[in-house]
Amino acid sequence: MTEKEVEKKEAELLKRIEKLEAMEQEVKAREKSAKEKEKKKKQILLRLSPSLWNELARWAEDDFRSINGQIEFLLAEAVRKRKNK
Protein backbone atom coordinates (compact mmCIF):
# COMPACT_ATOMS: atom_id res chain seq x y z
CA MET A 1 0.00 0.00 0.00
CA THR A 2 1.29 3.44 -0.86
CA GLU A 3 1.48 6.31 1.58
CA LYS A 4 -1.44 8.05 -0.16
CA GLU A 5 -3.59 4.96 0.14
CA VAL A 6 -2.76 4.70 3.83
CA GLU A 7 -3.65 8.36 4.35
CA LYS A 8 -6.92 7.87 2.47
CA LYS A 9 -7.83 4.85 4.61
CA GLU A 10 -6.87 6.77 7.72
CA ALA A 11 -9.15 9.65 6.70
CA GLU A 12 -12.01 7.23 6.05
CA LEU A 13 -11.52 5.64 9.46
CA LEU A 14 -11.51 9.04 11.14
CA LYS A 15 -14.80 9.89 9.43
CA ARG A 16 -16.28 6.61 10.64
CA ILE A 17 -15.10 7.33 14.17
CA GLU A 18 -16.71 10.78 14.04
CA LYS A 19 -20.00 9.23 12.86
CA LEU A 20 -19.86 6.64 15.63
CA GLU A 21 -19.20 9.32 18.23
CA ALA A 22 -22.15 11.34 16.94
CA MET A 23 -24.35 8.25 17.09
CA GLU A 24 -23.16 7.53 20.61
CA GLN A 25 -24.07 11.05 21.69
CA GLU A 26 -27.52 10.64 20.16
CA VAL A 27 -28.06 7.35 21.99
CA LYS A 28 -26.96 8.92 25.27
CA ALA A 29 -29.37 11.81 24.72
CA ARG A 30 -32.22 9.38 24.04
CA GLU A 31 -31.36 7.35 27.13
CA LYS A 32 -31.34 10.51 29.23
CA SER A 33 -34.72 11.52 27.82
CA ALA A 34 -36.13 8.06 28.51
CA LYS A 35 -34.86 8.16 32.09
CA GLU A 36 -36.45 11.58 32.62
CA LYS A 37 -39.77 10.28 31.29
CA GLU A 38 -39.44 7.25 33.54
CA LYS A 39 -39.05 9.49 36.57
CA LYS A 40 -42.27 11.28 35.65
CA LYS A 41 -44.31 8.07 35.79
CA LYS A 42 -46.90 7.79 38.52
CA GLN A 43 -46.66 5.01 41.05
CA ILE A 44 -49.69 3.02 42.16
CA LEU A 45 -50.32 0.27 44.65
CA LEU A 46 -51.85 -2.76 42.96
CA ARG A 47 -53.08 -5.85 44.75
CA LEU A 48 -53.25 -9.04 42.70
CA SER A 49 -54.16 -12.59 43.56
CA PRO A 50 -51.21 -15.00 43.59
CA SER A 51 -52.63 -16.91 40.61
CA LEU A 52 -53.00 -13.74 38.52
CA TRP A 53 -49.49 -12.65 39.55
CA ASN A 54 -48.09 -16.01 38.44
CA GLU A 55 -49.88 -15.85 35.08
CA LEU A 56 -48.61 -12.30 34.49
CA ALA A 57 -45.09 -13.37 35.48
CA ARG A 58 -45.13 -16.22 32.94
CA TRP A 59 -46.54 -13.96 30.24
CA ALA A 60 -43.99 -11.25 30.98
CA GLU A 61 -41.18 -13.78 30.77
CA ASP A 62 -42.46 -14.99 27.39
CA ASP A 63 -42.46 -11.38 26.14
CA PHE A 64 -39.06 -10.59 27.72
CA ARG A 65 -40.56 -7.93 29.98
CA SER A 66 -40.64 -7.30 33.68
CA ILE A 67 -43.95 -7.91 35.40
CA ASN A 68 -44.31 -4.17 35.86
CA GLY A 69 -43.56 -3.62 32.17
CA GLN A 70 -46.08 -6.28 31.21
CA ILE A 71 -48.82 -4.70 33.31
CA GLU A 72 -48.05 -1.29 31.80
CA PHE A 73 -48.09 -2.79 28.29
CA LEU A 74 -51.45 -4.48 28.90
CA LEU A 75 -53.01 -1.32 30.32
CA ALA A 76 -51.73 0.75 27.38
CA GLU A 77 -53.17 -1.82 24.94
CA ALA A 78 -56.54 -1.70 26.70
CA VAL A 79 -56.59 2.11 26.52
CA ARG A 80 -55.67 2.05 22.80
CA LYS A 81 -58.44 -0.46 22.05
CA ARG A 82 -60.96 1.59 24.01
CA LYS A 83 -60.02 4.76 22.09
CA ASN A 84 -60.48 2.97 18.75
CA LYS A 85 -64.08 1.94 19.52
User: Residue 20: pLDDT band by 50, 70, 90 thresholds?
Assistant: very high
When pLDDT is averaged across residues 63-74 and rounded to a whole number, the result is: 94
When pLDDT is averaged across residues 52-61 and rounded to a whole number, the result is: 95
Global pTM value: 0.53
HEC readout, 54-78:
HHHHHHHHHCCCCHHHHHHHHHHHH
pLDDT at 40: 82
pLDDT at 23: 95
pLDDT at 39: 79
